[in-house]
A and B are shown apart, each in its own frame.
Chain A
């Protein structure tokens, strides 16, 4: 038997989750490996404290050894929640800049290439002033850490309160203000951009929102993706992460993301709830979505009656090989809840012949969902 020709790049997609560090930072690598991560994110210090004891060189050495042993290919640090590099209060600003330099010091010592930071909040000041302070902070920190490998990844935010970074334009302005720098990048969080108003639920919406990202910031700057579904609706500007496919965003956006050839080189990190029990489940969901393309088939779907008003009446859909008509109906229902009736209300026809819902569909088939008819 010959292998089908592969169009995927040699390196597989780096995929993982934010892992806890209870019991030592190396634990994040070990528990990540245990659930099948090839990438992990961690806090290198307590995220709710300003001061951390200096990193023990032995701990740093052990982390690197464990990284090699586990084969985790990509690590990324997330900074402390207390840090606000746009703080109008000069004392908090100085404390934040110092703390962030320590974050970079620790990342450098651990060979972690990026520290993700939220862009801060302008609080009682203006957006304009906040962005100016943030630019100043980033310039100073990059200058003071010249020669480091560890860089700063600005995270897209949900737009809660006076937080900066919920519009791609704001991030673009900060990056422009700092000037091009190899150690300044961006982390895109799917939950954050969605609640900030960037829809990614359909192919058209996904392409529009990511097109905006590319136009304003550029894919080259994208260093890591946080993959989270959202508990709160589009544009709500409320940041509550949900399990992949279970929230307001839904499965289709994540399928588009993990199969997007333009982003295949960008590591993906889950920050979904219930890490102990659910990280493995969410990771598996992303892996299945990614596999659905390489092993999958493409069929043409036709919808009629009121369903024809809800979606494109003719649509190409990718799904895993050996899927049945019922699987296809379920997938369409998951992508758009208004189509959930396809499973219960419709008969199906494959290539213009009625079939049972257990019929397997094949590459290139035309599958029509036929609601109760009313000809005559």
Chain B
């Protein structure tokens, strides 16, 4: 538990969780807040999650990745207000060889985006928008 956090994510600390010496590869994915989205300037993001369900689903996701590729996985997703350039999600995968680490890391972030109940709201100079799949819905 504790995949969802509200503080800034310490990337090096998460990497350290999967950097045991038996691993020849550590692959880290960082999702960070970018300045522009869908043609709009973004001031910052606010993330919300259905926390208890998201925690359960992320635990399940890590377990599935570990057994499918024989890797070790550590991840955190941050919620609340996140400034430009700061990390919203970090996925670290350690494995004996690089192929499994890349594949498992890609699968983890893709599956997270598709299935884990987390939403971002883009706070822009011209308003706030919930991002729901392909749609940006004006908030408020």
Chain A interface SS verdict (over half): loop
Q: How far is the CB of B54 from chain A (nearest CB, A)?
A: 8
Q: Whole-angstrom distance between the alpha carbons of A129 and B138 in the complex?
A: 51
Q: Whole-angstrom distance between the alpha carbons of A375 and B50 in the complex?
A: 11
Q: Which of A302, A309, A353 has the most CB of B within 10 A?
A: A309
Say yes or no for A370: interface residue by CB 8 A criterion.
yes
Q: Which of A352, A353, A370, A375 has the most CB of B within 10 A?
A: A375
Q: Whole-angstrom distance between the alpha carbons of A353 and B140 in the complex?
A: 28
Q: Which of B88, B117, B118 has the most CB of A within 10 A?
A: B117
Instruction: Name B77's closest neighbour in chain A (CB-CB).
Output: A375
Contact: B89 with A372, CB < 8 Å? no
Instruction: Name B137's closest neighbour in chain A (CB-CB).
Output: A306
Give the interface residue-count category, chain A: 10 to 19
Q: Which of B89, B113, B137, B139 has the most CB of A within 10 A?
A: B137
How many chain B residues touch A (CB < 8 A): the figure is: 32
Contact: A375 with B112, CB < 8 Å? yes
Question: Which residue numbers of B lie inside 8 Å of A, CB to CB?
Answer: 31, 47-50, 52-54, 56, 77, 88-89, 109, 112-120, 130-135, 137-140
Q: How far is the CB of B22 from chain A (nearest CB, A)?
A: 29
Contact: A375 with B119, CB < 8 Å? yes
Contact string, A353-370, partner B, CB cutoff 8 A, digits 1/0? 100000000000000101
Say yes or no for A374: interface residue by CB 8 A criterion.
yes
Q: Whole-angstrom distance between the alpha carbons of A376 and B120 in the complex?
A: 9
Q: Whole-angstrom distance between the alpha carbons of A306 and B139 in the complex?
A: 6
Which residues does chain B contribute within 8 Å of A368, judged by CB atoms? 50, 53, 117
Contact: A352 with B56, CB < 8 Å? yes
Contact: A371 with B47, CB < 8 Å? no
Contact string, A271-315, partner B, CB cutoff 8 A, digits 1/0? 000000000000000000000000000000010111011000000
Contact: B112 with A352, CB < 8 Å? no
Besides A368-B50, A371-B119, A375-B89, 19 more A-B contacts (Cβ < 8 Å) are A304-B48, A305-B48, A305-B130, A306-B139, A352-B53, A352-B56, A368-B117, A373-B115, A373-B117, A373-B119, A373-B133, A374-B120, A374-B130, A375-B77, A375-B112, A375-B113, A375-B117, A375-B118, A376-B89
